[in-house]
Amino acid sequence: MARKARPSLRDVEQEAEKFSTPKTEKEKAIIDAAVELFGKQGIDGATTAQIAKQANVTEKTLFRYFPTKKDLVRRVFFPLLLRIGLVQNWESFKALLREKGRDAGFRGWYVALATDRLATVSRNPQLARTVLLELVQNEELRDVMERVWRQYIWQPMLESLTELKGEGAIRKDVDVEVLARAVHCFHIGYFLTRFVFAPHVKWDDAEQIEMMADLLESGAGTRRNVVQR
């Protein structure tokens, strides 16, 4: 049996469009119920019967819109992966750097990026937690996220860091790929701690972002004095 083709980035974009514009109220109710239950119980924990009941439709009706549970999973998770991957205001970061020049520097770039990513993940913390866990075990979601990440995060990040390095905001001896990986490690570590391991802790996200910026800038930036906390 031929292996089914991997979903393309266009498939992800189409699912995102359908997610945003359901054709009927019943379809919207099913999607809303799936978002809630997948977020609370995970993909394996939430059954189509439970989702149908939550949406106030029959399971038969659910399958008319989504022939398999996998189709429903794609409709819910592909748009979220795209939102996580797509830095929608990347151009505003560049505008910020052009406007403030070296005064904004690496620190301003990092704070803007981290704040944007956290805001995206925080829109639905329960679902974000499920995504982080499912990426570990769901090969299809992981494969989609890898391609979204390469196109919408990795390449734009390298380009932006290279610009900063050219402007003198990052030390000349710093490898921008190593720095980009360090930024990702900070983000992933914080998101896992914030949403998976310790979701009930009272977090001051703005302060945490500033502290991470201090640590990164101390190693990569050209700032003369790091604020002591």
Query: Residue 155: its pLDDT value, please?
Result: 83
- Do 49 and 112 lie in one domain? The reply is no
Q: Does residue 1 surpass a pLDDT of 50?
A: no
The last residue of one of the domains, among 77, 103, 128, is 77
- Do 54 and 129 lie in one domain? The reply is no
Task: Give the integer Cα–Cα distance in Å for 195 and 75.
Answer: 22
| 132 in a structural domain | yes
The last residue of one of the domains, among 58, 77, 96, is 77
State CA 49 to chain mean position distance.
29
- Do 198 and 136 lie in one domain? The reply is yes
Total count of domains within the chain: 2
Query: Which of the four pLDDT bands, split at 50, 70 and 90, describes residue 134?
Result: confident
The last residue of one of the domains, among 77, 102, 121, is 77
Enclosing domain of residue 66: 9-77
Task: Give the integer Cα–Cα distance in Å for 42 and 30.
Answer: 16
| 225 in a structural domain | no
Task: Give the integer Cα–Cα distance in Å for 190 and 213.
Answer: 13
Task: Give the integer Cα–Cα distance in Å for 203 and 210.
Answer: 13
High-pLDDT (> 70) share of the chain, %:
81
Q: Which of 18-27, 55-64, 127-136 has the highest mean pLDDT?
A: 55-64
| 2 in a structural domain | no
| 141 in a structural domain | yes
Q: Which of 35-49, 137-151, 165-179, 214-228 has the lowest mean pLDDT?
A: 214-228
* Identity of residue 105: G
Query: Residue 126: its pLDDT value, please?
Result: 75
- Do 214 and 105 lie in one domain? The reply is yes
